[in-house]
Homo-oligomer: A and B are copies of this chain.
Amino acid sequence: MKQSLVFIPTTKEVPSDTEAVSHQLLLRGGFIRQEMGGVFMYLPLAYRVLQKIQTIMEEEMENISCPETLMPVILPASLWKRSGRYKNYGPELFKLQDRSERELILGPTHEESYIDVVKSTWNSYKDFPKTLYQIQTKFRDELRPRFGLLRNKEFIMLDGYSFGGSQADLDYSYEQFNQAFRRIFDRSGLDYISVVADNGAMGGQESTEFQAVADIGEDDVAYVGEERSGANMEVAQGIPTFQVNEVFEEPGELTKVATPNAKTVVEVGEFFKTDLAKIVKSILYYADDKPVLVVAPGDHEINEMKLSNGLAAKELRLATHEEVQNLLGVQIGSIGPIGISEQVKVVMDPSVTHLHNFYVGANEDGYHYQNVNYDRDFTVDEQFDLININEGDLEPKTKQPYHIEQSIEIGHIFKLGTFYSEGLGATFLDQDGKEQPIIMGSYGIGVSRLIAAIVEQNNDENGIIWPKTVTPYDVHVIEINNQDETIVKTAEKLEEEITNSGHSVLLDDRDARAGVKFAESDLFGFPLRVVVGKKAQEGIVEIKERRTGEVHEIELSQVVKFIRDFYNK
């Protein structure tokens, strides 16, 4: 394809709030343009990447015998009312009406559509396990879309679904998708970690997230070892370093100490000149409108997901300053578990039991206790893991130190269970002729987000460096001078030869300075660049590898071979 015919609106100016490198580079390289906040156009170069990724996905899904389908974008609200999600999905659900005032939604995911269509056909245990998937544009009315293709109102997903009659069916399909997704990410050139995840709003049992490591990522993952096995921060469990390092001390005398102006953990820690872990913090929450005091080591954050799960709370929120004052009669910085009102349930992270002579608020403004020891000075109603791990905390099984990195969630596989089949009356007859709900799994990859993740992981100061498998074009052929007949003829002959050899080519035939062409070529980031310059007369061109920067002078007759070898290695 001649570059002069392709719409590639490169630009040097990107909006100042363009935070993500991928967003900057995709805008600068003319790959994408924003139609409005969170809604993008895929211009020719980006569309080719999208196609490459889709082809990889289709091949890998075919490999696990999962048939492709396409569900509607607009769905009747009635379908989602039956599953209960019309109400529960919240303000991220786009709602609209047709001309006869029928209520519709724009599908953000399609569990209901799939279970509803398969249920009348698959109704015996003999029909399972089965799978279906689609690659489709989806909609979620994000409050704050950002980071270019990372968090959008309109985005492209691969969403797969499995249907089973037993736990074994579900396990089988889950593992099939697990393997297929890994191959998709591997083939797309991504560096990713698979981690145990919380199911969040979806309900169900086991689930795994695939996280691409990237500074701009909105998730945190914790992992250990070379295989980087780990978990999403929301569920990662660890042994705090203080618990490992703590040396036994004889319990001292419980003493109330005036701590003027020391309210935060850090301030109190400085006041007592001690390790932050020993400043045990006490924070008042409301769980389903009942007050709960949460006690935790001062150097670890409270994990509200764990807390909420541990309390089996539907709603959880921090108490306001006013509520603390009204209920406990003290300010937030001075709350503590000793002598707390009996109206308040007290829960504690178990790591606190390993501390000796620690510090807590005294339930009196401006005072803390020192030489506090659990059991001697106070007890609690319940203990469970309720903190985020810190970098360096030990993974409980392997006792290896955790690494924590920011990451982009690129995929997620769930063992959903029977939530949707029960809601939509999707049952089958088991071996004993008994009616049972179909057991579902659901499996997703953020396709547009994958593009952003690839660019986040593959770039340098000059632009994008596409992996060979997903590059818009395999080769960029550049005419140094489009007025020189030898150069033009050589370049066009190369374009034809390379195309015939099965590799895609973009031929920069534009009337522009060589420097401009090279800079744009680096920005576009195709793996190979063939420069046709003055030496074309001697039958020689220059080939540059984008990733390594290596330059080769190659005879014209050897160019196709060079490209073939490069792509085969």
Alpha-carbon separation in the docked complex, A185 to B143 (Å): 44
Cβ-defined contact, A120 with B9, below 8 A: yes
Cβ-defined contact, A44 with B68, below 8 A: yes
Cβ-defined contact, A9 with B113, below 8 A: no
Alpha-carbon separation in the docked complex, A50 to B136 (Å): 14
> Closest approach, in angstroms, between the C-beta of A33 and any C-beta of chain B?
5
In the complex, whether A139 has a CB less than 8 A from a CB of chain B is yes
B residues within 8 A CB of A5? Answer: 65, 67, 130-131
Cβ-defined contact, B74 with A153, below 8 A: yes
In the complex, whether A258 has a CB less than 8 A from a CB of chain B is no
Identify which of A89-97, A213-221, A345-353, A430-438 touches chain B: A89-97
In the complex, whether A168 has a CB less than 8 A from a CB of chain B is no
B residues within 8 A CB of A79? Answer: 35
In residues 452-482 of chain A, which contact B (Cβ within 8 Å)? Answer: none
In the complex, whether A137 has a CB less than 8 A from a CB of chain B is yes
B residues within 8 A CB of A141? Answer: 98-99
> Closest approach, in angstroms, between the C-beta of A80 and any C-beta of chain B?
12
> Closest approach, in angstroms, between the C-beta of A530 and any C-beta of chain B?
20
> Closest approach, in angstroms, between the C-beta of A317 and any C-beta of chain B?
22
Alpha-carbon separation in the docked complex, A36 to B77 (Å): 11
Scoring A62, A120, A141 by chain B CB atoms within 10 A of each residue's CB, the highest score goes to: A141
Cβ-defined contact, B95 with A69, below 8 A: no
* Number of copies of this protein chain within its complex: 2
> Closest approach, in angstroms, between the C-beta of A442 and any C-beta of chain B?
16
Number of chain A residues whose Cβ lies closer than 8 Å to a Cβ of chain B: 56
In the complex, whether A272 has a CB less than 8 A from a CB of chain B is no
| Interface membership of chain A positions 106-142, coded 1 if the CB is closer than 8 angstroms to chain B and 0 otherwise | 1000000100011011100000001110000101010
In the complex, whether A47 has a CB less than 8 A from a CB of chain B is yes
Cβ-defined contact, B153 with A98, below 8 A: yes
Cβ-defined contact, A96 with B99, below 8 A: no
> Closest approach, in angstroms, between the C-beta of A381 and any C-beta of chain B?
40
In the complex, whether A318 has a CB less than 8 A from a CB of chain B is no
Cβ-defined contact, A7 with B137, below 8 A: no
In the complex, whether A244 has a CB less than 8 A from a CB of chain B is no
Cβ-defined contact, A9 with B121, below 8 A: yes
In residues 135-155 of chain A, which contact B (Cβ within 8 Å)? Answer: 137, 139, 141, 143, 153-154
In the complex, whether A1 has a CB less than 8 A from a CB of chain B is yes
Cβ-defined contact, A6 with B76, below 8 A: no
**Cross-interface CB contact of A73 among B73, B121, B132, cutoff 8 Å:** B73
- Interface pairs (14), CB distance under 8 Å: A1-B67, A2-B65, A7-B121, A33-B117, A35-B72, A39-B72, A39-B75, A41-B113, A44-B132, A51-B68, A72-B154, A73-B139, A74-B94, A94-B98
